[in-house]
Every structure is written in structure tokens, then in C-alpha cells.
Amino acid sequence: MKEKKEQYLQESTVRVSTTAKKKLLHDGFSVEELRQLSSDELTELSQEIRQCIIEKCLKNGGHLSPSLGVVELTLALHYTFQTPQDQIIWDVGHQAYAHKIITGRISEFGTLRCRGGISGFLRRAESPFDVYGAGHASTSVAAAAGFAKARDLNNEEHKVIAVIGDGAMTGGLAFEGLNLIGSEKLNVMVILNDNDMSIDKNVGGLSKYFNRAISARFYNRIREDMQKFVKSLPAGASIYEWLRRLEESMKNMMIKGAFYEDLGFNYIGPVDGHNIRELISLLKKAKEIKGPVLLHVRTKKGKGYLPAEEDAETYHGISGRNSKKKKQTYTNIVKRELKDLGEKDPDIIAITAAMPSGTGLCAFKESFPERYIDVGIAEEGAVTMATALALSGKKPFVAIYSTFLQRAYDQLIHDTALQKAPVRFLLDRAGLVGEDGPTHHGAFDIAYLRSVPGMTLLAPADRDELKAMVRFCYDFKKGPIALRYPRGESIPRLDKKKIPVEYGRGVLLREGKDILILALGRMVAEGLKAAEELEQSGLSAGVFNLRFAKPLDESAILALSSRYRAVVTLEYGTISGGIGEALGGLLLSKGKYTQGFLSIGLPDAFVEHGAQDELMTLCGLKGEALARKVEEWFRSE
């Protein structure tokens, strides 16, 4: 299979280079031009767009499978609606590459996810067609409700459309949005992009026939007139209720939209999401329906690229053809450790929010399926469920990206911490994640977790320390504990003594006399590099591996700081609310404030997208640049 995919990759590259010269897609292509094309030309354009997406994603990386699956739907939407006056809200935005290409960004598409280039998600600052920016799932429907309410209050008449995938529909926020739109009877179209459900051909045929009927203007006009007439009869209320139930029963026989109908939506679907002619026909009819409409579109993830069609999960997000696969990633280490623990203890339960591969839980899932739980895109539910499991004597590990735990902050405080439940949080992608950009950087977990009473937070400096910390979390029973670790290849052992992990205790890795560097996690290695660079400049720097962000090793820090002329803190998270502020406050409160104090970390701003090393250099977090920054500051002080 691997050889087959490699062969197809090479062949597809050749096809792209020869067919991308067609005249339909060109620099400066616009939606106005799109609306002048015939159905056959739209089909041809969809293939050119696919080839463009494949070519650029294989080079730069990106969310390949999701974007390939919605090319026809994207064209049909912009063809039917007068965008950007009519507002399309894409859920997450990682499926909106075709949208970017046809809305004036074809010439910039080669810069996708590169530093200084266009984002891999939607950004309002990038284009008026990007109505709502998001990198987290399930936001589109509630956002559509807000845009529609503002439109109505302003006495405007443009359309509002939310496009959401079946995966994102598992998020509670999506259902809150549906409930809001249905209860307010807002004129909003929600398009459910279903790329996973299998629908029987016979049911599909009946559904297609019924769709034409219920989406026709004549049907809906007659339906409204009949409602008024029946209700005017002496026994009108009873007759109307009987007819309503009959209509609902017919729909339940032919389509699976009863749930959405009960929420107040006119349900249409499922419809073939790769048939442009049919999509345009239904969209034109559906946009004339008053009130909430849900259009159920069935698509194939990875459409048009064989490897992605056969393995949509792997090709959901790729790193680019020139990237090297790293075997010793932090995620893989956690994967092995958790599986080993699971073999020894039947009380361990692994929980994820729709990210089994990204968080390394696949091995645990395969070995212990009865103790593996995927809650879907429902981080709040994951935390509350884990709390109840912990209170029941189980040992839950919640593996989740740092940026996604933000969505469950209330549950973390109200449910887990308040009840001192020993839930173990494995926070992957802590720090800068790279090309996914500001929506995915794990910049804030140190700040938001340090403020939670009873929370323990630790971070490994290297791969051996990570292994030890996973075991430490397993043994910890005093309350919630979070282990944060970065994306990418792990760092070999830095501490040759291999000192065991003790609660709230750090380790001095290097002696010095001028500058004390207090570093946490990923920044310990950079602190050691900076210390070596500083030594070449005649400055002696000691490096202390904090290990814990909470609690801090106060006694050791206070004792060490009095022996140095200056203290520098290094953290792979935002400075605002981070350990630098905590350590500065500690030294000041104890009268141990040294001659100088400098806190270094991620800036109090949203860091843009780009390669990890580029962004670390940009933020002044790499060893050599770090040393120059510290030296300039020290000498000026």
C-alpha cells in the first residue's frame, strides 16, 4: 500500500504540472467569473482546483482531505449566493482551500501556511469573504445565528449560510446553535457536510425525489396556504396536527431529518455533494424557503486523490512532501508509556475528544477498546466524564491538545478541581505548533492552569523526563494534574544524573555565578545552549530545570537566587500570567529580588503561523538569539 501511494504521489505531481495550465483557473480568478461558467465548465474547474490543492499541500503541508471533499460544494455555494454580501461561515476553516482559491487568493495560494503567507484557516483580515475566523470546531452554527440576528435588526435581507462537518456536529456548541436558530426561527441555512455516513441507494433515490418536492417554491407556498386553510376549519387544529404528523411520518420513512425538523428546520437531504448541477438546483430552491433550513450534503473526504480517499485520517493534515517523519516525538513516547501502564492496571481509562491519532491514543484503543473513550468534539464532556470516572475509583487520562482544553475551562474548575478529582491531563502541542498558527498554539495553558486551586502542572525537559512524568501522573492521587509537552521530535536526555521526579522539586543542571536561568520544559535545552553561548562572552550562567510550573520549588529558587547577580526565567508559553510573573512575585515578596530580573517567553500577542523553528527564532527563544538577548539586557543593567 505504501509503494502504491508513493507511485500515485509521483504520478499526480506530473498530472498537476501538465493540467494546471488550463485557462479556467488563473491568477486573478474571481467569483464573478465563476458565475459566468456553465455546469460542464464548473465540473472542469473543480478538477483544476483539486489539482492546485494537491500540488500545494504536498509541498507546504496542510489539511488536504477535508478541502478536497468540498470543492464542488464550494463552487455551488459561491455560484448560487451573492458572496460576500451573502455570508458563508465555514466551520473550522480547514476545508476552505477551494474557497480561498476562488476568492482572489489563487496567486498567494503557494504561500499557504508559510510565514508571511496566507493562513491555513479563515481570517477576517485576509479577505472580506472570510466572514468568521476559527480554528476550533463547532462554532459556525452559533456564529451564523449571530450574523442572522444582526441582519434582521438592521432590516437587511442577505443570506447567512453555515457549513459544518459531521465531525464538528458532535460538539455541543453546534447543537446550541441549532437550538437557537430553530427557537428564534432565523432565516439561516445550515449545510451539514457528511463525509462519513453510508446511505443506501434506494433510500437515496427516494430522498432525491422527496427533496425536489419539499424544496420547490410551489410545494412550500401550497404548504403554507393549506396550513392557513385547515386551521380556519371548525376542527382545524386537530386536522392540522394529523396532517403534520402524516408529513413527518413520510419524511421519516424516506429521510433521516426528523431530529432537525423537531428543532424547527426544514430538512433537505442527503444530496450528492459532488454533483454540481444538482447542488446548484437544490441551493437555488432552498434559499427561497423562509426560516431555518438544513441541507444534508454527502461528500467523500479526500476526493480526487487516491491516497487521501483510502486513508482520509492520515491525509486529514499533512506536513508536506519534504518533511521528515520523526520517530521519537513526545506524542509517540506518551503513546508507548500509556499502553504499558494500561497493560498493568485495568483501572486506567484513556479519553480523547476526536483526536486519537494526534494525541497518540491509537495503540491504547487497539489494545483496550473497552477502556478507550472518544467523546467526539466535546471537550467539556470529556473533562466532566473523566471527573466522574476518577471519583468512582478509576484512573482517567484525558489526552488533549493544549489549545483545545481551553474549551473546557469551566468544567476543569467547577467539576474537576473543586472536587479534587485525580484526573490526569496529557496536554499535547504545548507551545508553538507551527503552521496551524494562532488558533492552535498551546500558548496559554501555563497561565490558565496555574490560577486553578489544587492543580499540579509539570513539563519535561527531555524524552526521559517525559517518561518519568507520565509515571508520576499515574501515581498522583491528590487532585488534578496536567503534563504539558510540545509538538515534534523529543530532546535526548539532558540530565546525566537522571534524578527521579519529586513533587514540586526542580533540578540544577549547570552551576554559574552571574546569571541564574530558571527554565521550564522545552526551554531547558535552549537555556543550556544559551548558557554555553554566554560563557563565550565571559558570562557565567547557571541553569535550573523547574520541572513544575505549579507548585514551584520555592525553597531551592530562593536559595539559588541569592548567589547570582541576575535571574532570567524561560517558558514556552505566554509571558502574561506565566511562571515569570510568579517567580518575580516570589522573589520580590521574600526580599530576594536580585540585581536584575528578566522574564522571557511567548509575547502577549497572537503569534502568526510558520515553521516551529522560524517562530521560536522570531520570538527570541532559540539558544544563540536567546544568549544575545540576555547578554544585552545584563550588560545594560
Catalytic residue list: 301, 379, 407
Helices (H), 515-611: 523-536, 554-561, 579-589
Cβ atoms of residues 519 and 508 within 8 Å: no
Measure the CA–CA gap between 12 and 1, rounded to whole angstroms. Answer: 16
DSSP H or E run through 175:
helix 172-184
In angstroms, the Cα distances linking 33 to 417, 601, 604 are 56, 47, 42
Which of 107, 88, 82, 103 is CA-nearest to residue 26? 107
3-state class of 481 per DSSP? strand
| Cα separation of the two ends of the chain | 61
Task: Specify whether the CB–CB gap between 77 and 102 falls below 8 A.
Answer: no
What is the rounded CA–CA span in Å between residue 179 and residue 176? Answer: 5
Q: Copy the grid coordinates of residue 614.
A: 522560524
CB atoms within 10 A of CB 244: 12
Edge to edge, the sheet with strand 548-550 lists 372-374, 348-352, 395-401, 424-428, 481-484, 456-458, 548-550
Tell me: cis bond preceding 84? Omega within 30 of 0 counts.
yes
Maximum Cα interatomic distance, the chain, rounded to a whole number of Å: 99
Rounded to 5°, angle at Cα 462 from 386 and 551: 55
Phi, psi of 567 (to 5 degrees): -125, 135
Alpha carbons 559 and 177: distance in angstroms, whole number: 54
What cell does 210 get? 422527496
Report the distance separating Cα 56 and Cα 236, nearest Å.
Answer: 61
Q: Pairing between strand 566-574 and 481-484?
A: unpaired
Q: What is the distance between the alpha carbons of residues 21 and 390, in angstroms, rounded to a whole number?
A: 59
Evaluate whether 145 touches 181 at the Cβ level (below 8 Å).
Answer: yes
Torsion of CA 57, 61, 62, 64, to 10 degrees: 50
Helix/strand/coil (H, E, C) string of 87-144?
Answer: EEEECCCCCCHHHHHHHHHCCCHHHCCCCCCCCCCCCCCCCCCCCCCCCCCCCHHHHH
Nearest to 340 by CA among 314, 356, 360: 360
Distance of CA 530 to CAs 65, 66, 526, 536, 621, Å?
41, 42, 6, 10, 10
Gyration radius from the chain CA atoms: 28
Task: Name the 3-class secondary structure at 12.
Answer: helix
